[in-house]
Amino acid sequence: MTYIITILVMAGIFYLYSKKEAQRKKSNALIENNEKPSWLEVETDETVIIAGKKSSSLNWIEWSFFMALFFSLFFIVDGIIGRVKEIAIIGFVLLIPALYLGLLYSSFSKTEIFVTSHRIYGAAKFGKRVNLPIDSITAVGTSACHGIDVSTPSGYIRFKFIENNIAVQSAVSKLLNNRQSKAAAPATQNIINTPVSDADELKKFKELLDSGIITQEEFDEKKKQLLGL
């Protein structure tokens, strides 16, 4: 009877995994066709540059969680009923990774990320909706579990189990570089267009004379040029 229950539970878990995997592939297919979620279409008309695809690792996490939880409870109940302390201990040991996997899955199962030319939309930890203007982002990088870490003045926002996390990170980095280039361009232009007065030039050559870099004759000649003598 025990073996039959085990086989039925494992079959149910495998069915659940297969169903979730099919949903993941369908969702990624919509992303490849540049289809945006309904909530994004309502909030903005901006074109999505790149969207994050869900990683198959997320389904493995869920499958592993149910397996670990089932066997841990199985051993605990079997140990208590049979009064075999060692078996119950094994069950409690297995319960620790089961709870960790469950927390990891529940934290990032709803993760989404969409990058436009002006902002990042999506859902981060525990499905929290995110709307980050590009101007508010200071840095972006990748992390474990196919993660993307977005740095803002208020802290890090993490997106996990994104299959194309490197491509998304590169797209955001490009937007940040473009923003920095545009910000630096006016400052450079101002420097180029700022005229240098004759007095400033004369002061510079006086410092060169005092330092012994140029001779008195060279200084006098430059002074005549600047003063129009």
Q: Tens digit of pLDDT for each residue in 130-166?
A: 888 888 899 999 988 889 999 988 888 999 988 889 9
For a pLDDT cut of 70, what percent of the chain falls above it?
72
Structure confidence at residue 37 as a pLDDT band (50, 70, 90) = low
Structure confidence at residue 217 as a pLDDT band (50, 70, 90) = confident
- pLDDT given at position 148: 92
Distance, in Å, from the CA atom of 79 to the CA atom of 87, rounded to the nearest integer, reads: 5
| 217: enclosing H helix or E strand | helix 216-227
Distance, in Å, from the CA atom of 120 to the CA atom of 48, rounded to the nearest integer, reads: 9
Alpha helices in 82-211 (DSSP H): 85-108, 165-193, 198-210
- pLDDT given at position 169: 92
E strand intervals along the chain: 48-51, 112-116, 119-123, 129-133, 139-143, 147-152, 155-159
Tokens for 87, please give them.
Answer: 């078996």
E strand intervals along 10-94: 48-51
27 C-beta neighbours (distance < 10 Å), count: 16
Buried b (16+ CB within 10 A) or exposed e, 176-190: beeeeeeeeeeeeee
pLDDT at position 88 over 80: yes
Query: Comparing 72 with 28, which gets the higher pLDDT?
Result: 72
- pLDDT given at position 34: 56
The whole-number average pLDDT for the span 11-31 is: 66
| pLDDT, averaged across the chain | 78
Question: Domain residue spans in the chain?
Answer: 1-34+55-109, 36-54+111-194, 198-227
Strand partners, 150: 140, 157
pLDDT at position 42 over 50: no
| Residue 107 identity | S
Specify the fold of 36-54+111-194.
Answer: PH-domain like (2.30.29)
HSE of 170, CA atoms in CB hemisphere, 13 A:
4
Tokens for 131, please give them.
Answer: 């709307």
pLDDT at position 186 over 70: no
| Residue 122 identity | G
